[in-house]
Structure 1
Amino acid sequence: MEKQKLPNATAVLVLGILSIIGCCFYAVGIVFSIVALVMAKKDMALYAINPDAYDNYGNLKTGRLLAIIGLILNIISIITAIAFIAFFGWAVLQDPVLMQEKMRELQGM
């Protein structure tokens, strides 16, 4: 009997990679990581029923791990953005001149 591939393993791997890349773009990757984790959960349940029937479980595990790492990086990115807004204020973050003045004040301390 020929082994078949898990239906979403490649998609989970791609979404896991995109979730890590997406953390650099205002935490857009959080969507990719959540979708990847949901898809991975479905395929893992399918694999648990009959492990001998599938051969690309390694891709699924790798994609799931990347999605978890991407989720953590995206959460850190969101927390950092909130901390910057709380510390500097929204007006300072939107004006580069005010931001430079604020940074000079902090260096002078």
Structure 2
Amino acid sequence: MEKQNLPNSTLILVFGILSIVTCWCYGFIGLILGIIAIVLASKSAKLYQAEPDLYSGYGNVQAGKIMAFIGIILSVATIVGMIMVMNMIGWDALQDPELMQQKLEELQQNK
């Protein structure tokens, strides 16, 4: 009997890669893709562990899951960084270029 590919094994790998690539897009896209990849990887891993002789492609699942974790960590770091910048500069300064220039000069003088 020929082994069949695990369901969604390629999709998990692609979502894991995309979660790393898109983590810099305000963090939210990478976070969502990473969570989806981990959920799909958990389902595929349970299926593989129940009957490992029937399925192939478990390496893709593992690699995608690891990349999804990396993407989630980078996405959370990006979101935290954005929140820190908003707290330091302020929302009003982000919308007004002159006020932003003034805030940045104040931050440079405080160092």
Q: Which bin holds the TM-score, normalised by the shorter protein?
A: over 0.9
**Runs of 4+ displaced beyond 6 Å:** none
Query: How far, CA to CA, are the matches of 1:97 and 1:13 in structure 2?
Result: 44
Query: How far, CA to CA, are the matches of 1:12 and 1:97 in structure 2?
Result: 45
- The unaligned stretches of length 5 or more in structure 2 are none
| Aligned position for 2:46 | 45
Query: How far, CA to CA, are the matches of 1:95 and 1:47 in structure 2?
Result: 54
Q: Does 1:5 align with 2:15?
A: no
Query: How far, CA to CA, are the matches of 2:95 and 2:12 in structure 1?
Result: 36
Aligned length: 109
- Percent identical among aligned pairs is 48
- The unaligned stretches of length 5 or more in structure 1 are none
| Aligned position for 1:65 | 66
For the aligned residue pairs, the C-alpha RMSD in angstroms reads 1.2
| Aligned position for 1:21 | 21
| Maintained 8 Å contact 2:16/2:71 | yes
**Aligned AA (1:47):** Y
State the TM-score, normalized to the length of structure 2: 0.91
Q: Please, which moves more after superposition, 97-106 or 36-45?
A: 97-106
State the TM-score, normalized to the length of structure 1: 0.92
